[in-house]
Amino acid sequence: MSIDIRPLTTPEEVNAGFRVFLRAMVGLPFRDLDATELTEPGRYLGALDGDVVVGSADSYTGWLVVPGGARVSHAAVTHVGVLPTHRRRGIVSDLIARQLRDAAARGEVVASLRASEAVIYERFGYGVATSAQSARVSLRRAALRAEVPAGGSIRLVDRSVTTQLLDGIHARAAWTGAIHRPDGWWRLQQIQRDADSVTHYVAVHSTDGTDDGYAIYRPENTGAWFTSPEKTVTVTDFVALNDNARAGLWRHLLSLDLVDVVAFDALALDDVLPLAVVDRRSVALGPAHDETWLRLVDVEAALRARGYEGEDTVVLEVRDALLPANDGSYEIGAKSVSRTSAPPDLTVDVATLAAAYLGGTRWRHLAATGRVTVHSPEAVRRIDALFAVDTLPFAGTIF
In angstroms, rounded to a whole number, what is the distance separating the alpha carbons of residues 118 and 124? 12
User: What's phi and psi for 279, nearest 5 deg?
Assistant: -100, 100
pTM value is 0.95
Q: What is the DSSP string of 233-280?
A: EEEEEEEESSHHHHHHHHHHHHT-TT-SEEEEEEEETT-SHHHHBSSG
Please report which confidence band the pLDDT of residue 193 belongs to, taking 50, 70 and 90 as the band edges: confident
In angstroms, rounded to a whole number, what is the distance separating the alpha carbons of residues 34 and 32? 7
Q: What is the pLDDT of residues 133-167, one digit of tens each?
A: 999 999 999 999 999 999 999 999 998 999 999 99
Q: Give me the chain's average pLDDT, please.
A: 96
Long-range contacts of 55-58 (CB under 8 A, 24+ apart): 55/3, 55/20, 55/81, 55/82, 55/83, 55/86, 55/91, 55/92, 55/95, 56/8, 56/17, 56/18, 56/20, 56/21, 56/80, 56/81, 56/95, 57/92, 57/95, 57/96, 57/98, 57/99, 58/17, 58/21
Q: Do the strands 201-207 and 210-219 form a parallel or antiparallel pair, or are they unpaired?
A: antiparallel
Structure confidence at residue 33 (pLDDT) = 86
In terms of average pLDDT, the best of 20-24, 174-178, 310-314 is: 174-178
Residue 30 has pLDDT above 70, yes or no: no
Structure confidence at residue 1 (pLDDT) = 59
Q: Are 370 and 333 in contact (CB under 8 A)?
A: no
CATH 3.30.1050.10 boundaries in the chain = 298-386
Average pLDDT over every residue of 245-270: 98
Q: CATH number for the 3-108 domain, one of 3.40.630.30, 3.40.50.20, 3.40.50.2300, 1.10.10.60? A: 3.40.630.30
Residue 32 has pLDDT above 80, yes or no: no
Q: Which of 114, 396, 129 is nearest to 239 (CA)?
A: 396
Q: Are 174 and 65 in contact (CB under 8 A)?
A: yes
Q: Are 81 and 56 in contact (CB under 8 A)?
A: yes
Q: Is 121 a catalytic residue?
A: yes
Q: What is the pLDDT of residues 290-307, one digit of tens each?
A: 999 999 999 999 999 999
Q: Which of 166, 161, 58 is nearest to 114 (CA)?
A: 58
Evaluated on CA atoms 175, 176, 182, 187, the torsion sign reads: negative
Taking only Cα atoms into account, the Rg of the chain, rounded to an integer number of angstroms, comes to 22
Q: Which of 322, 353, 352, 323 is nearest to 337 (CA)?
A: 353
Q: Which of 214, 217, 330, 399 is catalytic?
A: 399
Q: Which of 264, 249, 268, 263 is nearest to 178 (CA)?
A: 268
Structure confidence at residue 26 (pLDDT) = 85
CB-based burial label for 304 (10 Å; 0-12, 13-18, 19+): middle
Query: How many whole angstroms from its chain centre is CA 116?
Result: 13
Structure confidence at residue 191 (pLDDT) = 87
Specify the CATH number of the domain 298-386: 3.30.1050.10
Q: CATH number for the 132-288 domain, one of 3.40.630.30, 3.40.190.10, 3.40.640.10, 3.30.460.80? A: 3.40.630.30
Q: Is 18 a catalytic residue?
A: no
Residue 263 has pLDDT above 70, yes or no: yes
Evaluated on CA atoms 145, 150, 155, 161, the torsion sign reads: negative
Q: Which of 18, 121, 124, 357 is catalytic?
A: 121
Q: What is the pLDDT of residues 63-104, one digit of tens each?
A: 999 999 999 999 999 999 999 999 889 999 999 999 999 999
CATH 3.40.630.30 boundaries in the chain = 3-108, 132-288
Q: How far apart are the first and last CA of the chain?
A: 33
Instruction: Quickly list H helices, the chain.
Output: 11-25, 91-105, 163-170, 183-195, 243-254, 273-276, 299-305, 350-357, 363-368, 378-386
Percent of the chain with pLDDT over 90: 92
Please report which confidence band the pLDDT of residue 31 belongs to, taking 50, 70 and 90 as the band edges: low
| Single-letter amino acid, residue 29 | P
Residue 21 has pLDDT above 80, yes or no: yes
User: What's phi and psi for 64, nearest 5 deg?
Assistant: -130, 135
Strand ranges of the sheet holding 3-7, from the earlier edge strand across to the other edge: 3-7, 45-49, 52-65, 71-82, 110-113, 293-296, 127-128
Q: What is the pLDDT of residues 335-362, one digit of tens each?
A: 999 999 999 999 999 999 999 999 999 9
